[in-house]
Structures are given as C-alpha cells and as structure tokens.
Amino acid sequence: MKPYKVIALAALIGLTSCKKDVKPEITTEDTKTTEIEAPRKTPLEIVPIEHATLSIEFGEDIIYIDPVGDFKAKNLNMSPSYILITDIHPDHLSLKTLESFNLKGTKIIAPEAVKEQLSKQLASQTIVLKNGEIQETKNFSVEAVPMYNLREEALQYHPKGRGNGYILTLGDQRIYISGDTEDIPEMRALKNIDKAFICMNLPYTMTVKSAADAVLEFAPTEVYPYHYRGTEGLSDVNLFKTIVLENNRGIEVIQWDWYKSNE
C-alpha cells in the first residue's frame, strides 16, 4: 500500500508503531502528548479543523467535510472542489460558512435532508446520496453509509436513514468518516478501512468504550478520535486509546486536538 501521510494543524498525540499481535502493558508514556513536526506535502493530506470539520486534499481536489466556522480567519482555501455534509445539525451544516465560499464549480454531496435546507442555487449543485449509494468522481469515489442512534433515549437525535457517514476511496486509501452515530452493525461490518474518524460524545453519539469496541471489531489501520465534545465537556480520548491498544496494538491511534482554538 502506498505510504500516504497525514498533515495536521494541531498537535499529533501519541503516534505509535507496533508489531501486530503484540500486547504489551499500557503505560503513562503511551498516552503523553508529543509535539511532532508536520510531514512534507504528499498526494493525500488531511487537516483537522475543529470538532467534526476537516479537509482532505487529494491531487487536484480539495474536499471539505462538514465545513463549519470562519474559514477565512483560518486562512483556508475558499474554493473547494467538493463539500461532503453528513447531517442537518449546526455542527455539521452551516449555511453561513457555505455562503462564504466561492462555490463556482463546487459539488456538494449530502443526504436529502441537508439539500432541503439549502438555497435554490446550492441545491442545484448538490448530489444526493442515500445510505448505500456511491458517487464516482474523476479522481475518487464516495460511498454513503448509515449513521444513527441505537439507545432509546437518543433516537431523537439521529434517526436511521436521515444522515450519512462516508467512505472515501482516494487512490489505495479508504477513509471512513463516521458522522454522528453509535456503534451500529453497519460500522462494525466495515472492511479494509485505512483511516477511520470516529465520533464519541454524549448524549448525541456514543461512549468512549462503545467507540473503542466498535473500532476493535472492524480494525482500521489508523483511527482518529474526532467529534468528542459533548454536553459535559470533552470525552476521554486517552481512555479510548488505552482500550484499543490493550486489545490490538496493530491499530494506530492518532489523537489530534480538535478544540485547540477554544483554549
């Protein structure tokens, strides 16, 4: 597999590289924060922006996932090739942010519920994907996958079929974006995922332990905790890492600070 790298705006926390099927004791050293110089530019770059918002640059394409916030203030490119939106909630869909872009030639990929929230012009640029559907572009493909709640008390937040998680296939890399979900059977059944961005916040998505258990089931090569701010503050992503590494040291857990701008 081509050794793509990832570039971050924030600190990368606890990068590890271990042999498979080895299960050493987890120590405090495993989870400490380490400042790492950003790698050189590569054909695939992923930049964490904040909470559920990230950008992916692949060749000539700039892809924004759930763009929210002031991109001009962050000095980010204002002319993306594609925008993927997972759901209708304001931490995923911001009309103000969308209107700040130069969207001439931009395609938006989103579920029907999102399209219904857009202006007539933006709706005309939107490709609607239902769970299970795939959109092929010139350079990559996007598959919409389910994202929803399982707990009775959380069903009001994300009913099945309204929102999309996404699997992007870029070259030989398969990148999973969970969106707002619990550890649903469809996520546990994923295959051949290279990079997985996994949510974990209550009451809206799932617990740290549920997220770790699901990740251990489908075993991506790399996992990135994201979308981990809930009503009680930030979830314990160090605990997530510990649970994963105690059970499978072949999964690399990469922790970025998605909330550094709020400090």
Q: What is the pLDDT of residue 157?
A: 84
Which residue has better confidence, 78 or 5? 78
What pLDDT digit, counting tens, does each position of 198-214 carry? 999 989 999 999 999 99
Q: Averaged over 169-189, what is the pLDDT?
A: 96
Whole-model pTM: value is: 0.83
Domains parsed from the chain with CATH numbers: 12-262 (3.60.15.10)
Of 180, 117, 97, 110, nearest in space to 142 by CA? 110
Assess contact for 86 and 52: CB atoms under 8 A.
yes
How far apart CA 204 and CA 219 sit, in angstroms, is 23
What pLDDT digit, counting tens, does each position of 205-242 carry? 999 999 999 999 999 999 999 999 998 899 999 999 99
CA torsion 165→132→95→207, rounded to 10°? -20
Q: Which residues pair with 46 in a beta bridge?
A: 56
Spatial neighbors of 17 by CB under 8 A, at least 6 apart, are: 252
For residue 257, what are the CA distances in angstroms to 100, 108, 143, 205, 233? Answer: 25, 27, 27, 19, 14
What pLDDT digit, counting tens, does each position of 5-15 carry? 454 443 333 33
Residue that has been written with the tokens 């060749």 in this structure: 59
> pLDDT band at residue 155, thresholds of 50, 70 and 90?
confident
Q: DSSP class of residue 33?
A: B
